[in-house]
Amino acid sequence: MSKTLREFALELDGAFFGDGSFLVEGVAPLPTAQKMQISFVVSKKHLAAAQESQAGAFILPENLELPNKNGIHVKNPRLAMAKIAHHFYALPRPPAGISSLVQIGANVTLGDNVSIGSFVVIEDNVTIENGVSILPHGYIGKDVKIGKDTFLHPHVTISHGCIIGQNVQIQAGTVVGSDGFGYVSDDNAQLKVPHTGIVQIDDNVELGAQNTIDRGTFGKTWLKKGVKTDNQVHIGHNVEVGEQTLIIAQTGIGGSAKIGSHCIIAGHVVVRDQITIGDRSLVGAKTTVSQSIPAGSMVSFCIPEIPHMDAMRIARIIPRLPELRKRLEKLERDLGHKEKN
């Protein structure tokens, strides 16, 4: 697994400095790195820590120097370090094979080198392609299709009819294809709207732990290629998420919302139903998106922590804001009239 600094520099489209034949055997942060490991520096403020580090080599931005050290200059140190880390720490996959404690329905198609752990239930008419791993206590509903090299961690549920692409990662406890939240009032009772659609997850998507991805009422909920979600994300029925978008923890996206490609939706965000967020937009933490925003937008609204008594005073004022606005507008009109006279 070890590689020389020169070899890594070539793979990363960087330029090595120091001893190009230095053999890198692992990756570690500056404080704990050892002499055969490589670490990384993001900015000038980390140079002092790098000088004190025991690391044998460093990833540096192109505008920084570490005299008498070994390393590689690159445009994006974080990206370079992630690529090196993938070289040394590939996801450990269980050995191919099917546990004797698996329940498999009728007309199930299993590809080569599939691994299925104990207490997994696979219903009828499921297709599982080559290299798929399903860890213990998973549930795969009827008519599900799972693409090659996908990895389902323990306690993952894929409900009936859903389509999972290739090289998808789904962390523990996530549910794909749960019913959406749809009810209609009928004589003071709530009548459930049947959700007959599916969830489609395209290639190279990664879902965090404890996500819930609702199926479409009709049609589909669709996570496109390369989408990544953090833990505890909820995506409502018929939502569409564009390619390479990141959705951070505890975000909730309402039904039929459309999120563009290459967006970043920060933690604890609420996106109301039927909202459109344009491509390459950024939504700051704890923001409620209540109207559509165009491509390239950067929006946020998060009140920082304040003393409790101040918060109570502010809470009492908020209901009076419409009235106060009218009074302010009247004062401005009166003042303008006096100034004219």
CB contact at 8 A, 60 and 74: yes
Q: Which two tokens stand for residue 336?
A: 């303008």
Residue 337: active-site member: no
Q: What is the DSSP letter of 46?
A: G
Angstrom distance (rounded) from CA 245 to CA 250: 16
Q: What is the DSSP letter of 315?
A: H
The position carrying tokens 């996908």 is 150
Angstrom distance (rounded) from CA 257 to CA 240: 7
Angstrom distance (rounded) from CA 158 to CA 285: 29
Sign of CA dihedral 148, 126, 231, 291: positive
Q: Which two tokens stand for residue 316?
A: 């009492």
Q: What is the largest CA-CA distance in the chain?
A: 93
Phi, psi of 75 (to 5 degrees): -70, -35
Q: How many CB atoms lie within 10 A of CB 43?
A: 10
Question: Half-sphere exposure of 110 toward its Cβ, with a 13 Å CA cutoff?
Answer: 17
Which member of 153, 155, 195, 237 is catalytic?
A: 237
Angstrom distance (rounded) from CA 228 to CA 234: 13
Angstrom distance (rounded) from CA 35 to CA 58: 11
**Torsion on CA atoms 27, 29, 31, 34, rounded to nearest 10:** 0
Where does residue 1 rank: exposed (0-12), middle (13-18), buried (19+ CB within 10 A)? exposed
Active site residues: 237
